[in-house]
Structure 1
Amino acid sequence: MTESTQGQGRHLPVDMHGAVSLDQTSSSAGGAGRQAPDDAVRAALVVDLTEQNFAETIERSAHTPLLLALVSGTGQDDALVDTLTDLTVARRGRLLLAIADASRHPQIARALQARALPTTLAVIAGQPIPLFEGMPAAAQIEPVIDQVLQLAAQQGIIEVVDVPEEAPAEDAAPTLTPEQQAAQDALDQGRPAEAEQRFQRILDTTPKDAIAHHGLLLAQLVQRVEAHEAQADAADPVDRALAEADRLWLGGDAAASFDRLLRPELWGDPGRRGDLQARLIALFDLTGNGEPAVNAARTRMASLLF
C-alpha cells in the first residue's frame, strides 16, 4: 500500500491505484473501457408475456432460468420492472425475464393464482417458484436471484442465451452537465464531502442519473477510507473487514475487496449481516454489474445469506 492510503487525514485522489473516475464510460474498476449495447441485450432477454407466447416462454425455462413478474399495469410497478430488468441484463444471458400485465392478460394472472400484485416468481424447468410479493428493495432482490441461479445450476439448467457482444466505447469522455462537472471537480480535487453533497443534489432531482449515482458511491468510499484509517486494527472483526475492503477496492483490487467481506466467519452474527450485504452491494455497483468477479461474489453472498 502506498503512502497515499496510509497517511492520517489525507485526501485520496479518486483516480489513484486503479480506482475509477467518472470520466470513464464504464464503472468497472480495472475494466477495459468497453460498453455493452444494453438495449439489444434487453431485447434478447426480456419478454412481454402474453397468452400467445406464454407456453413458448415457459418452455425456455427448461434450458435457462426464468423470472416472471406479474404486474398491475398501472405504472406503480415500474421500479420493480426496472430493477428486475437491470439485474437480468447484468447477468448477460444466464437469466431470462418475462413481464406480464395482469390488466391486459387476466388469464395469465388466473393461471399463476397470484394473490397480490406485483408478484414475482422463478420458473425452472417449467416449475414455478414463488419469490416475493410487492416491491422489495434491489438489495433484497439480488441475493434471491443469485439463489435462483444456484438452484437452476443444481438441476443442470445453465444454458446461456446469446446476447450482443460488447462494443468498444467511444474514445471521447462523456460530456458532463455543469452540475456533474462541479461534483467531479470536487472529487478530483480532494473534497469528497462536497462532492457527495453535489452528487446527492443531482440525484434528488434526477434519481436515475448513473454518473451521479456512481460519483456518490465513490465519494462515500473515499470518505470511509479516510475516516477508517484508524480502524485498521479495530477490535471488531466486521468493522476491520469493512475498512480493509474499502481500501482494497480503492487500491484497484475489487476481487480481493469482495473476498475480504465474504469470509464465512464474519457472517455468524445476524446483526452484522446487513452491514456486510450493504457494503458488498455498494462495491458491486462501483465495480460494474457485468464484471465476472461481481457475479461470482454475488453467488457467494447468496450462499452466506440463505
Structure 2
Amino acid sequence: MQPRNMSMSGVVDLAAVKAAQEAKAKAEQARAEAARQGGGAPGAVSPASLVIDVDEAGFEHEVLQRSAEVPVVIDFWAEWCEPCKQLSPLLERLAQEYGGRFLLAKIDVDANQMLMQQFGVQGIPAVFAVVAGQALPLFQGAAPEAQIRQTLDQLIQVGEERFGLTGLVVDPEAEGQQAPEPAEVPAGPYDALLEAAVRALDAGDLAGAVQAYKNVLSDDPGNTEAKLGLAQAELLQRVQGLDPQQVRKDAADRPADVEAQIAAADLDLVGGHVEDAFGRLIDAVKRTAGDDRDAARVRLLELFEVVGSDDPRVTTARTALARVLF
C-alpha cells in the first residue's frame, strides 16, 4: 500500500504537475473560445482547408504529419465512379459540419496507384482513416449518412481518448461564414474532487490521487484535467520504488527488452528528460513487432497525456511515431 505521507519532492515537481493541468485546461478553453468567435486564433484554418486533394508526393506531409493533430479521413475516388459522386459530396459536407474534428483527404486512385496499393484498396469508393500515423479501414461503398456519422463519431472519440487529438480550430471569417454556437455544457461539480486529488499528490498519497481522478472520470469521461492528472499520478506510481541505476543498466544491457525500455522511459520523463523518454519508446516501436510494439506504443501515448497534447515536443514525437508506424 502507498504510504500516505511519503514525500515525492525528490522525484517530480508537484507544482509543475498542477501547473500543467491548469495550462492544458486553459488551452482547451482557449481553443473552444477561438472556434466560437472565429478569427485570430493561432494555427486556425479556413473551412475550405478541411477538404484537401492529396497525391503521393504530398501524402507524408498532408496526411501522416497532419494525423498527429487531427484524424484524417481518406476518400479514395475516381472520376468514372458513379457511387463516388454520391459519397464524396456527402463527406465534404460533413467535414464542414464537423468543424475541424476531422480532415478529409481526397485521393484520385487513377493518379495515385501506389497509395491505392499501399492501403489495399480493392474497390471504390473506399474510405480509410489515419490517426496518429495508424491507418484503419472505415467502410467501402456509398454508405447511408447515419452510418457514416456514427463511424465518424467513433473515429473522433478514439482520436480524443487514445491519442489526445482535439482537432483543428476553424476560422469561419476566412470565407465570411458564421461560426455555429456551441452547445453550452454545464460545469460538473468536480472542483472539490479535483482539488482533493491535487492535495493527495502534494501529500504523496498517489493511490488517493489516482482514485480521486478516477471518480471524476467515472461521471465525466472527457474531463481534460482529470485525464491529465490521472496519467501523471499513475506515472508516479509506476516509478515509485524503482532503483534508477538498475533500471538504466537493464535498459542499456537489454535494448531489445521492451519492458526495460518502458521503465527507463518512465524514469526519463519523471526526471524531466522528455525528448529522451519519447525517443526511447519511438525506437522501441521501430525495433519491435506484435505485442511488444503495441506495449511500447501504448506507453508512449500515455506519456503524451502526461506532458499534454499542446506541448510542441508531443507534436514532434507524434510525427516521428507516425513515420515509424506507417
Q: If the TM-score is normalised by the length of the shorter chain, which range does it land in?
A: 0.5 to 0.7
Question: What is the deviation of 1:265?
Answer: 7.4
**Alpha-carbon offset, residue 250 of structure 1:** 1.2
Larger radius of gyration: 2
Superposition map of 1:1-306 within 5 A:
11-13=7-9, 16-17=12-13, 20-24=16-20, 25-27=22-24, 37-39=30-32, 40=34, 44-45=44-45, 47=47, 58=51, 65=62, 91=69, 110-112=86-88, 122-123=104-105, 130-131=128-129, 132-133=137-138, 134=151, 135-136=154-155, 137-138=158-159, 177-229=191-243, 231-234=247-250, 237-263=257-283, 267-306=287-326
**Cα distance change on mapping 1:244 and 1:125 into 2, 3 Å:** same
Alignment partner, residue 168 of structure 1:
none
**Number of aligned residue pairs:** 229
Cα distance in 2 between the residues matched to 1:59 and 1:209? 32
Q: Which runs of 5+ in 2 are unaligned?
A: 1-5, 39-43, 75-82, 96-101, 110-125, 130-136, 139-150, 173-189
> Whose helix proportion is higher, 1 or 2?
2
Contact map agreement 1:17 1:251 (CA 8 A) in 2 = no
Q: Whole-Å Cα distance in 1 between the matches of residues 28 and 162 of structure 2?
A: 25
Distance 1:198 1:140 in 2: 19
Residues in 2 aligned to 1:193 and 1:18: alpha-carbon distance in whole angstroms: 15
How far has the Cα of 1:108 moved from its partner? Answer: 9.3
- What is the CA distance between 1:121 and its match in structure 2? 7.3
Match of 1:102 in 2: none
Distance 2:302 2:219 in 1: 21
CA distance in 2, matches of 1:218, 1:228: 16
CA positional deviation for 1:192: 0.6
TM-score w.r.t. the length of structure 2 is: 0.54
1:130-155 Cα shifts (integer Å, max 9, x gaps): 32423353389859x9xxxxxxxxxx
Shift of 1:27: 4.2
Cα distance change, pair 247–208 in 1 and its aligned pair in 2 (3 A): same
Aligned residue in 2 for 1:154: none
Amino acid at match of 2:303: L
Using the alignment, how far apart are the partners of 2:35 and 2:105 within structure 1?
20
Cα distance, 1:287–1:59 mapped onto 2, change above 3 Å: closer
Mapped to 2, the partners of 1:218 and 1:19 lie a distance apart of: 12
After TM superposition, give the deviation of residue 257 of structure 1 in Å: 1.1
Distance across 1 between alignment mates of 2:194 and 2:163: 28
Q: Secondary structure at the match of 2:204?
A: coil
Query: What 5-or-longer segments of structure 1 have no aligned partner?
Result: 1-9, 48-52, 68-86, 99-106, 146-160, 164-175
Change (3 A) 1:197 1:203: same
1:32-90 CA distances to partner (integer Å, 9 max, x unpaired)?
Answer: x988820225854484xxxxx7xx864687999489xxxxxxxxxxxxxxxxxxx98x8
Give identity over the alignment, percent. Answer: 23
Contact 1:238–1:266 (8 Å) recurs in 2: no
Amino acid at match of 1:112: S
Distance change (3 Å), C-alpha of 1:188 and 1:140: closer
